[in-house]
Structure 1
Amino acid sequence: MSATEYDVVIVGGGTAGCLLANRLSAETSCRVLLVEAGGRDDYHWIHIPVGYLYCIGNPRTDWLYRTEPDPGLNGRSLRYPRGKVLGGCSSINGMIYMRGQARDYDGWAVATGDANWRWEHCLPYFRRHEDHWRGGDALHGSGGEWRVERQRLCWDILDAFAAAAREAGIPATEDFNRGDNEGVGYFEVNQRSGIRWNTSKAFLRPALGRPNLQVWTGATVTRVLLDGGRATGVEVHPAGGGAPLVARARQEVVLAAGAIGSPQILQLSGIGRGDWLQPLGIETRHELPGVGANLQDHLQIRAVYAVEGTRTLNTLSASVLGKARIAAEYALRRSGPMSMAPSQLGAFTRSSPAYAAANIEYHVQPLSLEAFGEPLHGFDAFTASVCNLNPSARGEVRLASPRPEDAPRIVPNYLSTAEDRQVAADSLKLTRRIAAMPALARFRPREVKPGPQYQSDEELARLAGDIGTTIFHPVGTCRMGRDDDPQAVVDSHLRVRGLVGLRIADASVMPTITSGNTNSPTLMIAERAAEWIARGG
């Protein structure tokens, strides 16, 4: 690490940052610095798919954030994992490849006043880096860096749930990524031959030999440096202490620190709401009231059903012999439970006929537990987690103190609107309808959570607050919008409004959350940003 000048300084070596570093350093005349606060992705559990269990909640790979106590969750505070390692959240997430629905991007076009965000214009940027197991066609790419594969196992109980969902009126689908994801089927995953495929392996490692790319790890960016209305670089604190360094950017500083990290860095730099910053003793260098606002996330409501007459992971992994068999299967064939994504079966449907398109997503698992990180139950069971794809609640991310090492306050405001509470109640009722279908009858499903004694919409909405957890999809805290939108932080080309030389390219720029898992849409955003930066636009 040395204090020197670059053309582009990228802050954050996560999902977006790794792609940006690859694309921008492909032009040999562009000198690029990638700064990552976490370490290298050399921890073995990152690469074994089931290793997310050992990465989330681990200070080596996770920022260990928590939300503020949330009234919508009946006062509970949630663990809020974010990747603290090269590859970012792609190193610890559920590996599900999901783009969302065409209507999401058409809505972004309306929000920004820029038709280039419509689905048909975003699709080529998904395809550009994709390497789909079926090969290339009009919807999917082949030969790109981002590998998409089928899962390497199936379960009788999940096949039965899929059949029950079809009996309940949800059509079968083999591809959730065609622009309309309504249907039930197995998720596709970002793996290569049963090993996690993160963005560090996909994009960063192939570029590491380029002389015009430097990568700093264990290096925390504490603020963006401003000269008048221009971003000129960043202040960097190396791990272990020592004097801060300055990395200058001749062309641009690009924040890719995510929906929590990017607004935190902006606020530490004096960019944001003055009435949030001044009480902390931070000078307001550039008033932008939308910084940290508009937080959106998918809250999953975990319904658990005990079953009979089949094995699930609860009992399959209960004995030493069972664990040994699972390990042997992965070692020999890269398959079995150790190759599992956290959720295997998915379904997209409507919580009620009032919705014109799928507004809820199921993640179905052949296991159950009281809470993430706790032991599996001692009985066979499946979990049907359902989330509201388009929540109307909005939260915020704001500094807790002026100290960069202090985690920001994360306030999701889950279930704070009547619409979100109704969707939660309707979702649980639909889960019960699916569980009562003939296809599941031979397994005698018995509702353990939330419990059949709760029947009214009011009871179910309250119980959703008791059992709901984040599905780790925060977005929107530096959202893009029209120039006349006072809450817009960036324009439609992701340039920070009112400043020169500062851009944001991560999930924080989404005006509204996508209808599904958010990792791959973040890659698409980074792909577009890289093109604009290279063109100077």
Structure 2
Amino acid sequence: MTALTRRVVVVGAGSAGCLVAARLSEEPHLRVVLLEDGPDHSTESVDAKLSSWNWLDALEATEAFVPDLTARRHVTDLPRLYRRGRGLGGTALLNAMIAMPGLPADYDRWASEFGLSDWSWKEVGPVFTKLEHDLMVAPHASLTPLDKALLSAAPELGLENDADLLGADDGAGRLWLNAVQGRRHSSRERYLKPAMRSGRLDVRPGARVDRIIVRNGTATGVRLVDGSEVDADLVVLCAGALETPAILLRSGSSRPGVGSNLLDHPSVSILLKLREGFRIVDRTKPTIGAALRVSSTSGQSDLHLLPVHGLPAGTPGGFDGRIIIELMAAESSGTVRLTSSDGCQPPSVDQRMLGTARDRAAMREGVDLAMRLLETDEFTRVVSEACVDDAGTHAHRLRDEDFYQSWVTSSLSGAHAGGTARMGTVEDPQAVLDGRGKVIGWDNCWVIDASAMPVVPTANPHLPILMLATRLAEYLVEDIA
């Protein structure tokens, strides 16, 4: 390295980390080292599953899951597996490839409530427009029987069935996907692999970071769990909304907002048995290609219903699919806390979902809408039975309020965590980062991932994370210069 060359360590190769490392490697005066806890799956047989655009293939690639991360979804819940990706590509290896930006109001809220004027829809909308070039809409020919039933049934519920889900329409519509014809097209494929071929990026899989080394308020590198250290002029955390706050806490951060404000999209599922003629799953096509988006009585476009055709191998009960009901604008928040100073131990994740009356009412509306959907002519033509558990308890039991309350709190899931090291003004005591992603109180340290979001948008997070990473990477290049 020359005297002017600076070493940047990027921690985490997920949706944000792949983009950030690739962008920084374009700068001739930077030497970029990307550290990832998991392996490079592209050299293994599991890559075929991870590259498929059928979500079931990814869900069955258990080698790419974080093995021991659990979360309590509800205050009455026991810890259960929280699905996160591990390896080059991160959770984008395993997601349903759904691409939505969220609503303009989401980002205007960042600006108005958190003092982040540079993050209004006026500022971020053009970035989403550029990102659209890497997306595709689910082709009509790839729609599953459940996708088609959803689109056909929407008018029976008084809803449109040609909604633009990349825009702000309510109704049913085909989904946009971060895919190319026949293949997943996540950050690993779009950003990391081309950058790796350039020879300007040092990628180190199998390197789990314990903590940032901070001397006199300045980040000078990172320490791995094996005790080795990697020196750096700049450290960029892209480890995700659950691991990034854990690393900050182990590193001695004293900001009270670290690990607080854990936000997610609570979801529940109704399991489906399909009639003969609709049961066969075509693994050459996406397992989900359409969705229904509606507004609850207390929110805007905050309920999503997603029909999934097929279930992972080994799923009990003999079911053929499910309807996922997601609350996309939940008020309830939780925490990420350390269970140990040992960097090999996962953090304690307490989500506290449905902790407000508004969230509980909105989720009830979503479930009621799903029940109405299942009673339409189109769905009764395709679906023979709907159940709420593996034992085959019929979905009509959800009309019993006591049963519903017990079921919903024990069935909650979520995979869209964010907000745990959020941006804000320097004067905001709960802010961990300033509006350019820099860790408040430390020099030469940034966070660029979903933990930086003050509020999780009303969308699957992959596309908003790419927008965030695109903008913060440019800010970082400016700050370094």
Q: With structure 2 as the length reference, what TM-score do the two structures score?
A: 0.90
What is the match of residue 246 of structure 1? 230
Please give the alpha-carbon distance, in whole angstroms, between the structure 2 residues aligned to 1:384 and 1:226: 47
SS in structure 1 opposite 2:34? Answer: strand
Flag structure 2 segments of 5+ consecutive residues without an equivalent: 389-393
- Alpha-carbon separation, structure 2, partners of 1:211 and 1:69: 42
Aligned residue number for residue 178 of structure 2: 190
* C-alpha distance in structure 2 between counterparts of 1:301 and 1:422, whole Å: 14
One-letter amino acid matched to 1:477: T
Cα pair 1:361 1:516 within 8 Å, conserved = no
Superposed counterparts of 1:377-416, under 5 Å: 377-378=317-318, 382-416=321-355
Q: 1-side partners of 2:369 and 2:135: how far apart?
A: 34
Given candidates 243, 260, 263, the residue that maps to 1:296 is: 263
1:347 aligns to 2:303 (yes or no): no
CA-based RMSD of the aligned residues comes to: 2.4
1:264 aligns with 2:246: yes
User: Could you say which residue in structure 1 is the equivalent of 2:26?
Assistant: 26
Report if aligned partners of 1:296, 1:476 keep a CA contact under 8 Å in 2.
yes
Q: For each residue in 1:359-389, what CA deviation from the matched residue of structure 2 results, as whole angstroms up to 9, or x when unmatched?
A: 1111112346xxx66426436x542211111
Does the CA contact (< 8 Å) of 2:145 and 2:309 recur in 1? no
What are the within-5 Å matches in structure 2 for residues 192-271 of structure 1?
A: 192-237=180-225, 241=226, 244-249=228-233, 252-271=234-253
Partners of 1:373 and 1:79 in 2: CA distance: 17
User: Cα–Cα, structure 1 residues 31 and 107, in superposed 2: closer, same or farther, change >3 Å?
Assistant: same
Q: Which residue is 1:452 aligned to? A: 396
Aligned residue in 2 for 1:281: none
Conserved in 2, the CA contact under 8 Å of 1:186 and 1:345? yes
The residue aligned with 1:61 is 64
Please give the alpha-carbon distance, in whole angstroms, between the structure 1 residues aligned to 2:32 and 2:383: 59
What is the correspondence of 1:453-468 to structure 2 with a 5 Å cutoff?
453-457=397-401, 459-468=403-412
The letter of the residue matching 1:188 is W
Between stretches 439-448 and 513-522, larger displacement belongs to 439-448
In the aligned structure 2, how far is the partner of 1:50 from the partner of 1:474?
Answer: 23
Q: State whether residues 72 and 349 of structure 2, in contact with CA within 8 Å, keep that contact through their aligned partners in structure 1.
A: no
How far 1:438 moved relative to its partner? 3.4
Contact 2:416 2:460 in 1 (8 A): yes
CA contact (8 A) 1:490 1:504 kept: yes
Give % identity.
28
**1:330-361 residue CA offsets vs partner (Å, 9 max, x unmatched):** xxxxxx324324x3321110233x43x21111
Correspondence for 1:276: none
The Cα offsets for residues 201-249 of structure 1, whole Å up to 9 and x where unpaired, read as: 2111211244442111111111111121211221234xxx5x5132222
Task: Measure the CA separation in 2 of the matches of 1:505 and 1:373.
Answer: 35
Write out per-residue CA displacement over residues 152-204 of structure 1, whole angstroms, 9 at most, x where no aligned residue: 612334312222223212222353122x1422112121222211112122111
The counterpart of 2:149, out of the listed 121, 136, 160, is: 160
Distance 1:311 1:118, change over 3 A: same
Change (3 A) 1:65 1:171: farther
> Partner residue of 1:277?
none
Contact 1:41–1:91 under 8 Å retained in 2: no
Structure 2 residue aligned with 1:169: 158
The CA distance in 1 between the partners of 2:212 and 2:72, in whole Å, is 30
Partners of 1:310 and 1:164 lie apart in 2 by 19
Match of 1:274 in 2: none
Counterpart contact for 2:220–2:235, Cα < 8 Å: yes
Deviation at 1:56, TM superposition (A): 6.1
| Residue 435 of structure 2 is aligned to residue 492 of structure 1 | yes
1:295 Cα offset (Å): 0.6
Counterpart in the other structure of 1:39: 39
| In structure 2, distance between residues paired with 1:213 and 1:424 | 45
Question: CA distance change for structure 1 residues 501 and 28 in 2, over 3 Å: closer, same or farther?
Answer: same
User: How far is the alpha carbon of 1:55 from its aligned partner?
Assistant: 5.3
1:467-482 to structure 2, matched below 5 A, reads: 467-470=411-414, 472-482=415-425
Match of 2:391 in 1: none
The 2-side partners of 1:171 and 1:84 are apart by 39
Q: TM-score, normalised by structure 1?
A: 0.81
Q: How does 1:77-96 map to 2 (within 5 A)?
A: 77-96=79-98
CA spacing shift, 1:71–1:100, aligned 2, 3 Å: closer
Q: Secondary structure at the match of 1:452?
A: helix
Identify the residue that residue 112 of structure 1 maps to in structure 2: 114
**Would you say how many aligned residue pairs link Structure 1 and Structure 2?**
466
Q: Name 1:308's counterpart in structure 2.
A: 275
Q: Secondary structure at the match of 1:63?
A: coil
Structure 1: 5+ residue runs without aligned partners? Answer: 131-139, 272-286, 318-335
Q: CA deviation at 1:71?
A: 4.2
Task: Sort the Cα spacing of 1:382 and 1:17 in 2 relative to 1 into closer, same or farther, 3 A.
Answer: closer
Query: Secondary structure of the residue that 1:13 maps to in structure 2?
Result: coil
Structure-1 separation of matches of 2:351 and 2:261: 9
The whole-number CA distance in structure 2 between the counterparts of 1:255 and 1:163 is 45
Q: Could you tell me whether the CA contact under 8 Å between 1:222 and 1:265 is conserved in 2?
A: yes
Q: What is aligned with 1:515?
A: 458
Q: Which stretch of the first structure deviates more once superposed, 61-70 or 192-201?
A: 61-70
Q: Is the aligned partner of 1:529 residue 2:468?
A: no
Deviation at 1:502, TM superposition (A): 0.9
Alignment check: 8 A CA contact 1:299 1:387 kept: yes
Residues 67 and 79, structure 1, Cα contact 8 Å, conserved in 2: yes
> 2:455 aligns to what SS in structure 1?
coil
For the Cα contact (< 8 Å) 2:263–2:455, is it kept in 1? Answer: yes
Task: Report the counterpart of residue 429 of structure 1 in structure 2.
Answer: 368
**In the alignment, residue 251 of structure 2 is paired with which amino acid?**
S
